[in-house]
Amino acid sequence: MIKHTHTEPSEINFSKLEKRILNINDPLLNKSNDIREMLYQLTINNKPTLIVATGGSKVVAYYLQLIIERLGTNGVICEVIEPRDYFYKVNRNQFSNLIAISTSGNTNGIKDVLDDFNGTKFLITQNNQENNYQVISWGNEKYETEKSFISLASSLGPITLMLGATTSLNMEISSSEIKKINDKINQLLIKSREKVDKLSFDFKNVSLIQIMSGYETKTSCRVLESNLVETGLVSPVIHDKGSFCHGRSNLLFQYPDSHVIYLCHQRRELDNILIELINREYSNISIFDTEDITEKYFWKEYYLILQMYFLSKKIADDKSIDLTQPEYNPKLVKKLYNFRGEM
């Protein structure tokens, strides 16, 4: 087991996180408009859209899906899928649009998917590329590429551009509007850090985390799950709140020493019942919500995403593991990551 030699400690990566995000969303470069133009095209043709991504880029894909499904009057049909699964999906030709998301642009399977698809296609990636499809690059000369085992700014950056694009789809977003967005983001970063800092629970001896989520918190729960798995901190299990009522609650009974992370935006009757019962029976629940902000849904989920990044760091710190520089098996990880064969 070794530590990744091309990464930096989490203290450095998190200290640079705000600057990296805001540099990606630089008001003068205004790359949110590139995303906005893509979203506007999708709104106009109002045809089914497939988003293909894996790893940290899949978090970006889920956030984009939430936006696309709310475009226009009735929303646009949208689905997120892995590159490998694309070729097993027999109805893939029923989709008119395809958006591939990859930081490098050459993740295994991404090029194959783009070459195979016959409709309108986009690639969202860090650096610009010459291709026969539309490329939306979120990197720029001000962005200092992060050195991290997991995706931080490389996921939050494009998500931030997508958030900015929701401001106005049918007209260009001004640099002054981008500045206002960045001010809000700065405030949410501070609030997220403070909220996690107030959490008194120590995760040192926790080996299983059960995440209570739903469709409206799909992106934020995937942030936490992906970070925990990729760094090997704990074993995470995601429960849909409705499915939890159909037998899945038994996992909590069988593993009473596990910890529950409960995600929500606006508490409904089911939320209140679940929180009350879990608290009463096990007293091992931490609740993360967005009731302390009044912004619209895209902002609320963005806020919860930020909280999950800071929570990931706390869990790692409690276990004396560096979140962005964990130990790993190079013989396994490198060989699999660099695999470029048939999927």
Q: What is the pLDDT along the chain (343 residues), one digit of tens a residue?
A: 566 567 889 999 999 999 999 999 988 888 888 999 999 999 888 899 999 999 999 999 999 999 999 887 678 899 999 999 999 999 999 999 999 999 988 888 999 999 999 999 999 999 888 788 899 999 888 888 889 989 999 999 999 999 999 887 777 888 899 999 999 999 999 999 999 999 999 999 999 999 999 999 999 999 999 999 999 999 999 999 999 999 999 999 999 999 999 999 999 999 999 999 999 998 899 999 999 999 999 999 999 999 999 999 999 999 999 999 888 787 787 777 677 777 7
- pLDDT, position 2: 61
Distance CA 21, CA 32 (A): 12
Distance CA 16, CA 330 (A): 27
52: closest CA among 113, 116, 137, 106?
A: 113
Superfamily of domain 2-194 in the CATH hierarchy: Glucose-6-phosphate isomerase like protein; domain 1 (3.40.50.10490)
- pLDDT, position 5: 61
Bridge partners (DSSP) of residue 261 are: 211, 286
- pLDDT, position 44: 84
Q: Which two tokens stand for residue 127?
A: 């650096």
With 0-12 / 13-18 / 19 or more C-beta atoms within 10 angstroms meaning exposed / middle / buried, residue 51 is buried
Q: Do domains 2-194 and 202-318 have the same CATH topology?
A: yes
- Of 3.40.50.10490, 3.30.70.270, 3.30.200.20, 3.40.50.170, the CATH number of 202-318 is 3.40.50.10490
DSSP 3-state of 299 = helix
DSSP code string of 105-132: S--TTHHHHHHH--SEEEEEESS----S
Q: Give the residue extent of every domain in the chain.
A: 2-194, 202-318
